[in-house]
Chain A
Amino acid sequence: DAGITQSPRYKITETGRQVTLMCHQTWSHSYMFWYRQDLGHGLRLIYYSAAADITDKGEVPDGYVVSRSKTENFPLTLESATRSQTSVYFCAARTGRGPQAFFGQGTRLTVV
């Protein structure tokens, strides 16, 4: 049971490039989330989705785009990467029945 798989695990990209982080769940949990984790800030919500084709902004959405055409996939795109987007990104999922979230292993993104 793989749960949530994020890819790539590590990524280095240049300023101004577009980069997409992938997130796939083997369940069919309704809700999916993208967080970024930075020293001094903890986990901050970027975007979330309540179901396929339903997405909404979180606390820090600027510079990011999401889509959810299928329940199991929730990719996060940085349209024009900036150094301030260097971070560890976590994807999470939860059912509609309980509050607990299940996290992927994270993607460490470095923008140079």
Chain B
Amino acid sequence: TQLLEQSPQFLSIQEGENLTVYCNSSSVFSSLQWYRQEPGEGPVLLVTVVTGGEVKKLKRLTFQFGDARKDSSLHITAAQPGDTGLYLCAGGQGGSEKLVFGKGMKLTVNP
């Protein structure tokens, strides 16, 4: 059972464009994380959001946690080729040690 649905699954854009990735669930999460994974490497944490409605910024990346803590979005402004990679969202549920991952969004930014 995939608790976290990410959309879109694939995106190919030109350098300088903006994009938004969505991570949706019918379940409530105590925290939600975004990871980026490059080919041949493991996922690397970008950000963790824990409060409903929380917004965090990491340079050109803006992360938002939904008010009901069931969904999240990642917005990238003025994408660059270095942003290319697989973006994964992962949710933690209170009292559980486990993280549930979405299937990921494969982003390609063309120069």
Task: State whether the Cβ of A78 lies closer than 8 Å to any Cβ in chain B.
Answer: no
The interface bits of chain B over 31-49 (1 if a CB of A lies within 8 angstroms of the residue's CB, else 0) are 1010000001111110010
Docked pose: A104 CA to B41 CA in angstroms:
8
Chain A's interface: helix, strand, loop or mixed, by majority?
A: strand
Residue of B nearest to A39 (CB): B103
Task: Check if B97 sits within 8 Å of A42, measured CB to CB.
Answer: no
Task: Check if A106 sits within 8 Å of B41, measured CB to CB.
Answer: yes
* CB proximity of B33 to chain A, nearest CB, Å: 6
A99-B48, A99-B92, A100-B48 given; A106·B102 CB < 8 A: no
Number of interface residues of B (CB under 8 A): 22
Docked pose: A6 CA to B48 CA in angstroms:
25
Docked pose: A43 CA to B41 CA in angstroms:
13
Task: Check if A45 sits within 8 Å of B98, measured CB to CB.
Answer: yes
Residues of B within 8 A of A45 (CB): 98-100
The interface bits of chain B over 68-111 (1 if a CB of A lies within 8 angstroms of the residue's CB, else 0) are 00000000000000000000101010000111111110000000
A43-B101, A58-B98 given; A99·B33 CB < 8 A: yes
Interface set, chain A 61-81, CB cutoff 8 A to B: none
Residue of A nearest to B102 (CB): A42
Task: State whether the Cβ of B2 lies closer than 8 Å to any Cβ in chain A.
Answer: yes
Docked pose: A31 CA to B92 CA in angstroms:
14
The 10 closest A-B pairs by CB, nearest first: A103-B42, A42-B103, A43-B101, A99-B92, A99-B31, A100-B45, A103-B43, A42-B101, A31-B97, A90-B42
- 18 CB-based A-B contacts, threshold 8 Å: A31-B97, A33-B98, A35-B101, A42-B101, A43-B43, A43-B88, A92-B42, A94-B97, A98-B48, A99-B31, A99-B99, A100-B33, A100-B45, A100-B48, A101-B33, A101-B90, A103-B44, A105-B40
